[in-house]
């Protein structure tokens, strides 16, 4: 059994995971409203559509608040660890130093600034241009993950490849997993025809994201796990295998949704099919969150390569 000494403790790893998950939810929720939802909303009467928009805004602001709070807590805990202090006052005092003198601090402060920018863009009445601006800012905030993880600390061309791979990985996760809470809430009450249309619009984007996630996970596994010995002999390898297992479960759920449940929406009992699909997307959302939390643990463990 490998040593699971998680740097900074499980709490820091989970805070990191929650921060990233919320950031991805912000991106996905905006993209859902921008790309997936509009034609489906047009099929509903105005009052029902307005109710969905209100729900969407509540989900978005909740995600933004969690992303900001978890991001700030992550910065605080990591600052304490970097400065080698554990008292709350000393940790707070370390934050400005970490922001000023480390790449991690600068990146996390920038992320919080980008999320604040997205919030400002969203405070006014929803408009496609403002949504595009907010999605760009949220996408940039999520993309900064590529510059604060393991990829950031290695040097040379390897860093470029790993960082590029992480960039694609994070954005694909945001565009797929980040949209799932919105899709789940939408399927809960949408008329079957609107639900079916939303799923048809979500499906191709989800498929492309799955391809990107699988390929970039392979690239990172190649670079960080350290082959079979690293996979079975290190805590990093075990955590990566757990993440891979969850990803396979996620793919299976997505395939069931796409090829078994979606066609039933247009069959004899669409209301029952919608309820089943809604529950399935809820489970898919939970598994997606679990994967991101495991990714937070992975980022706190030394890579198996070179161990």
Partner 1 sequence: MRKLSLVLLCLIVFAGTARAHARLESASPAVGGTVPTPPEQVAVTFSEKVEPAFSTIEVTDATGQRADTGKPHRAPDNPRVLIVDLRPIGPGSYKVVWRAVSVDTHRTQGSYRFTVAR
Cα–Cα–Cα angle for 72, 286, 205, rounded to 5 degrees:
90
242, two tokens: 């757990």
Long-range contacts of 99-102 (CB under 8 A, 24+ apart): 99/75
- What mask, x for binding partner 1 by CB under 8 A, covers residues 70 to 99? --------x--xxxx------------xx-
196, two tokens: 């079916």
103 binds partner 1 (CB under 8 A): yes
Q: How far is the CB of 137 from partner 1 (least distance, A)?
A: 24
CA distances from 118 to 56, 123, 129, 170, 297 (A): 15, 9, 12, 18, 27
* Closer residue to partner 1, CB minimum distance, 153 or 245: 153
Q: CA torsion, points 142, 144, 146, 151, in degrees to nearest 10? A: -150
Among 93, 219, 231, 241, binds partner 1 (CB under 8 A): 219
Among the listed ranges 21-29, 188-196, 208-216, 243-251, the one in contact with partner 1 (CB under 8 A) is 208-216
149 binds partner 1 (CB under 8 A): yes
CB 294 within 8 A of CB 16: no
Among 1, 46, 124, 157, binds partner 1 (CB under 8 A): 157
Q: How far is the CB of 106 from partner 1 (least distance, A)?
A: 11
Among 10, 50, 218, 255, binds partner 1 (CB under 8 A): 218
- What number of residues does the chain have? 307
Among 46, 47, 259, 306, binds partner 1 (CB under 8 A): 306
* Closer residue to partner 1, CB minimum distance, 265 or 305: 305
Rounded CA separation 258/280 (Å): 11
DSSP string of 193-225? HHHHHHHHHHHHHHHHHHHHHHHHHHHHHHHHT
165 binds partner 1 (CB under 8 A): yes
The radius of gyration of the chain from alpha carbons, rounded to an integer in Å, stands at 20
* Closer residue to partner 1, CB minimum distance, 293 or 298: 298
Q: Which residues of the shown chain bind partner 1 in the complex (CB under 8 A)? A: 7-8, 78, 81-84, 97-98, 101-104, 148-155, 157-158, 161-162, 164-165, 168, 208, 211-212, 215-216, 218-220, 222-224, 226, 299-300, 302-307
């Amino acid at each position: 059994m490998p040593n699971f000494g998680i740097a900074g403790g499980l709490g820091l790893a989970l805070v990191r995971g929650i921060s990233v998950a919320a950031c991805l939810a912000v991106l996905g929720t905006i993209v859902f409203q921008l790309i997936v939802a509009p034609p489906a909303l047009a099929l509903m009467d105005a009052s029902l559509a307005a109710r969905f928009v209100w729900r969407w805004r509540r989900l978005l602001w909740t995600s933004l608040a969690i992303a900001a709070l978890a991001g700030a807590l992550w910065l605080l805990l990591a600052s304490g660890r970097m400065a080698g202090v554990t008292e709350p006052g000393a940790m707070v005092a370390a934050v400005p130093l970490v922001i000023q003198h480390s790449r991690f601090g600068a990146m996390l402060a920038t992320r919080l600034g980008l999320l604040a920018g997205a919030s400002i863009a969203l405070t006014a009445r929803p408009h496609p241009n403002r949504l595009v601006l907010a999605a760009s800012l949220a996408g940039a905030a999520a993309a900064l993950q590529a510059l604060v993880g393991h990829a950031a600390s290695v040097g040379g061309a390897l860093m470029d490849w790993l960082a590029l791979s992480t960039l694609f990985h994070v954005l694909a996760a945001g565009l797929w997993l980040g949209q799932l809470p919105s899709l789940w809430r939408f399927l809960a009450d949408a008329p079957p025809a609107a639900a079916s249309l939303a799923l048809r619009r979500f499906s191709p984007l989800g498929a492309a994201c799955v391809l990107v996630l699988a390929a970039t996970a392979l690239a990172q596994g190649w670079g960080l796990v350290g082959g079979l010995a690293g996979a079975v002999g290190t805590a990093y390898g075990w955590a990566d295998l757990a993440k891979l297992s969850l990803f396979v479960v996620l793919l299976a759920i997505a395939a069931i949704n796409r090829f078994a449940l979606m066609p039933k929406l247009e069959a004899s009992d669409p209301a029952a099919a919608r309820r089943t699909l809604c529950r399935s997307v809820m489970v898919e959302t939970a598994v997606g969150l679990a994967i991101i939390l495991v990714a937070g643990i992975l980022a706190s463990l030394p890579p198996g390569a070179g161990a």
